[in-house]
Amino acid sequence: MRDDRRTRTILGLLLLTALTLVVLSIRGGGEGARTGAQTIFGPIQSAAAAVVRPIHDFVTSIGSLGSKDAQIADLQHRNDDLVSQLRTSEYARNRAKELDDLLRVSSEGQYRFVPAQVIAFGPAQGFAWAITIDAGTADGIKIDQNVINGQGLVGRVVRVTSSTATVALLVDATATVGARIESTMEVGLLNGTGDSLSMEFQLLDPFAPVVVGERLVSYGTSGGTFVPGIPLGTVTAVTGTPGQLNRMATVAPFVDVSNLDVVGVITERPRVNPRDSILAPASKAPTAGASASPSAPSAPPTAPAPFSSPTPGDGATPNPKAS
């Protein structure tokens, strides 16, 4: 009972003090009393708050755990949406650039084409390197029509259905294209090797000059398979000496067949040969007198033996490597 009385006494004193301060405040006085009371009870109030505040914050944090989890989940969802939008935007920008490049090539070469998208990539009957596009006879596509993109020649149509077409790529071991050197106008045969990074170019004139850095375009002939003026690739190495029958130049194709997406199928040959107009201006054109150190090209990987050989275009002889 002694503890109860002491507690009641303390509470009574505190209540009496509070009432006194209220009365003084109403009468407009007691500023000194309030200051004194704050001086006496201020430390006690601060100590009590220091003890109670961590407990209050802990209890409050427990109550907000669920809402924080919901906020984290919402932020993660928004982040995933932003990443998806960024990827979509990147893809859209890439497609827009490919279409712009394709339109530039067709405009400068005066080619009429049907746009298409690559829907499959892999070997086809008779061809180790081939793609399938989403355009067919219903779109005016025919066998032997040339397929291009914004960098140059992709290949030619070898099979067609009403809604799709199979395209044998330029780098296939069965491919042979009549080519012409940009600077000297010398012509020869550009053969696929089955290697996506290199092709072989053999000049018709074994004494004609050819050096590293030369660029090639298709020369095309009336009634031939390939249309003229399409960029093909750049000479990266030359083996042999002028006059040798086995003299060969290694050519890196302009088109990267590993990431084909948007292509165009040429449906009408140009009225005027575009010659080299599609090629971008060379930063430094090679000269015929420039020396090139002969270097043997790396051996291309062996492609599966084809079931049949395509009919070579431009009046060219079949690729001797094709069976």
Which amino acid belongs to residue 151?
Answer: Q
CATH for 171: 2.40.10.340
Q: Residue 310: inside a domain, yes or no?
A: no
* pLDDT at residue 52 greater than cutoff 90: no
Predicted local confidence at residue 59, as pLDDT: 56
User: What is each CA distance from 7 to 3, 48, 222, in whole angstroms?
Assistant: 6, 17, 116
* pLDDT at residue 154 greater than cutoff 90: yes
Q: Residue 312: inside a domain, yes or no?
A: no
Q: Residue 48: inside a domain, yes or no?
A: no
Instruction: Grade residue 88 by pLDDT with cuts at 50, 70 and 90.
Output: low
Q: Residue 24: inside a domain, yes or no?
A: no
Residue 170 is encoded by which pair of tokens?
A: 């330029």
As a whole number, the mean pLDDT across the chain is 78
* CB contact set of 219 (below 8 Å; sequence gap of 6+): 178, 179, 180, 187, 228, 314
* pLDDT at residue 145 greater than cutoff 90: yes
Question: Interhelix angle for 2-26 vs 31-109, to 10°?
Answer: 80
Q: Residue 71: inside a domain, yes or no?
A: no
Q: Residue 321: inside a domain, yes or no?
A: no
* CB contact set of 26 (below 8 Å; sequence gap of 6+): none
* pLDDT at residue 217 greater than cutoff 80: yes
* pLDDT at residue 202 greater than cutoff 50: yes
User: What is each CA distance from 161 to 115, 140, 245, in whole angstroms?
Assistant: 16, 11, 42
Looking at the chain, how many residues does it have? 323
DSSP assignment of 110-139, as one string?
Answer: T-EEEEEEEEEES-BTTBSSEEEES--GGG
* pLDDT at residue 293 greater than cutoff 60: no
Torsion sign, CA atoms 307, 310, 311, 316: negative
* pLDDT at residue 19 greater than cutoff 60: yes
Give the structural domain span for 164. 110-268
> What is the C-alpha to C-alpha distance for residues 178 and 195, in angstroms, rounded to an integer?
19
Instruction: Grade residue 63 by pLDDT with cuts at 50, 70 and 90.
Output: low
Number of domains in the chain: 1
Q: Residue 158: inside a domain, yes or no?
A: yes
Q: Residue 117: inside a domain, yes or no?
A: yes
